[in-house]
Structure 1
Amino acid sequence: MGQKVNLKNVRIGWVNVFERAPDSVSQDGKPVKGKFQLTAYLDKKDPQIRKLDDVVLEVLTEGLKDRKAAEKWMDKNYGFGNHADKCAIRDLSERDKPIEGIEEGIYFKATSQKKPVIMTSAGERQTEKGMTIDGDDIEGQEVYAGCYANVSVEVYWYDKFKTLMVNLLGVRFREDGEAFGGAGEVATDDDLDDEDEKPTRSRRSRDEDDDEDERPRRRRNRDED
């Protein structure tokens, strides 16, 4: 079990949603097939971090079968103060290589074996750059690395490797930003609109991530909020 959460107007980078990221090799020399992916960055004052905290606690409580165990795991691995291999959601300030302009906050990499829902600012759905799913030229603006976007993801506990992961469901362009270089559940149009809503529960196929290369690295102080 996982839980869907929809985040509004967050900065995104490392965007590979129209095509998969290139294949790579893991640290132990094993081939890793490229996935659809993006990285989302939340400013340290973004109130949506609290929503993400609550979702993670619920997912971990279910995955570990105990709330106290979930809280202990979060203190050691999740969010502010941590950059742990076991957790996809990490502290920006703990990165080995800071990102200019967004040095403080929370970030996570969301991946998927299945192409996510992609929408322009006008709500047009896409599978290819510059075109709608009907083959027409787009009228709205499309996502790129560095823009702000509405993002729909699923946070889930990957029990095989005892890690907390993030599955990418959908993305919609929201605002321009300075350009960066460099499952069973799907997102709906409502997930990517601009109205706030409570996160909903979701179920995903775990076999999509048996080769997961992202066993996200160190520690969090929960009382910093």
Structure 2
Amino acid sequence: MSRLVIKNVRLSYANVWEPKPMQGDPDGKKRYSASLIISKDDTKTIKAIQRAIEEAKTEGKSKLANKNGVIPKNIKLPLRDGDEDRPEDEAYTGRMFLNANASADHAPKIVDRSVEPILDRAEVYSGCYANVSVTFFAFNTQGNVGIGCGLGNIQKIRDGEHLTGERSAEEDFEDLGGDDDDDFLS
């Protein structure tokens, strides 16, 4: 397995607090998951991911290779182009992305900038930015062959606009101060 910490990614479809059944999984196994959005301008990170994927191909050659010992060119790869695969979603425009998963018994540790645990679930959401540890591994299951991306730990580094359209109470309301009942008369 090839391990990598990807810095400054935007989380999308962040299912990091409780495992949920994965869409399209015939076994209905619950998983933690997140889509990690990376700017196409971040060529250093993209190249590091591509190297890690190649390492995983080499390490997992026995799982990936066909009967002739050759890894087919059409195996599934985790690094995808947002402009091609999610053209309707502007959060993915000009971006690459990875979908990372962890089994229900391997919850990601979620920490803040000081590496202190984050306990408030509202702090880590689809749209915030994070550093995320991932592993790349070969798989060959039920005719699906490729390189997968395992979700490791998450370090929130900054807030971002919610991708779900959700708003905080602070965005919706102003501080009225005190207990003045006159506010309810209008």
Normalised to the residue count of structure 1, the TM-score between the two structures is 0.61
Instruction: Tell whether 2:153 aligns with 1:151.
Output: no
Check whether the contact 1:92–1:98 (CA below 8 A) recurs between aligned residues. Answer: no
Summarize deviations over 1:119-150 as a string: whole Å, max 9, x none: 12332124x435xxxxxxxxxx9321101100
Greater share of residues in strand: 2
| Other structure's SS at 2:48 match | helix
Matched residues, percent identical?
26
Distance in 1 (alpha carbons) for counterparts of 2:16 and 2:86: 26
| Other structure's SS at 1:26 match | coil
Check whether the contact 2:87–2:93 (CA below 8 A) recurs between aligned residues. Answer: no
- Amino acid of the residue matched to residue 59 of structure 1? A
Residue matched to 1:87 = 77
- For residues 155 and 16 of structure 1, do their structure 2 counterparts lie closer, same or farther at Cα, with a shift above 3 Å needed? same
- Amino acid of the residue matched to residue 61 of structure 1? T
Quote the offset at 1:117 in angstroms: 1.2
Check whether the contact 2:109–2:153 (CA below 8 A) recurs between aligned residues. Answer: yes
Residue matched to 1:35 = 31
Residue matched to 2:7 = 8
Residue matched to 2:24 = 26
Check whether the contact 1:6–1:153 (CA below 8 A) recurs between aligned residues. Answer: yes
Equivalent residues in 2 for 1:1-225, closer than 5 Å: 2-21=1-20, 23=21, 26=24, 30-46=26-42, 47-64=44-61, 73=73, 76=74, 86-113=76-103, 114-126=106-118, 128-129=119-120, 142-160=123-141, 161-181=144-164
Check whether the contact 2:11–2:35 (CA below 8 A) recurs between aligned residues. Answer: yes
- For residues 40 and 177 of structure 1, do their structure 2 counterparts lie closer, same or farther at Cα, with a shift above 3 Å needed? same
Where in structure 2 are there 5+ consecutive unaligned residues? 65-69, 166-186
CA RMSD, Structure 1 to Structure 2 (Å): 2.7
Distance in 2 (alpha carbons) for counterparts of 1:24 and 1:64: 27
Distance in 2 (alpha carbons) for counterparts of 1:151 and 1:24: 20
| Other structure's SS at 1:115 match | coil
Distance in 1 (alpha carbons) for counterparts of 2:86 and 2:112: 33
Check whether the contact 2:86–2:92 (CA below 8 A) recurs between aligned residues. Answer: no
Computing the radius of gyration over CA atoms, which structure comes out larger, 1 or 2?
2
Quote the offset at 1:165 in angstroms: 0.4
Residue matched to 2:176 = none
- For residues 45 and 32 of structure 1, do their structure 2 counterparts lie closer, same or farther at Cα, with a shift above 3 Å needed? same
Distance in 1 (alpha carbons) for counterparts of 2:52 and 2:39: 18
Where in structure 1 are there 5+ consecutive unaligned residues? 78-85, 131-140, 183-225
- For residues 24 and 9 of structure 1, do their structure 2 counterparts lie closer, same or farther at Cα, with a shift above 3 Å needed? closer
Distance in 2 (alpha carbons) for counterparts of 1:31 and 1:63: 24
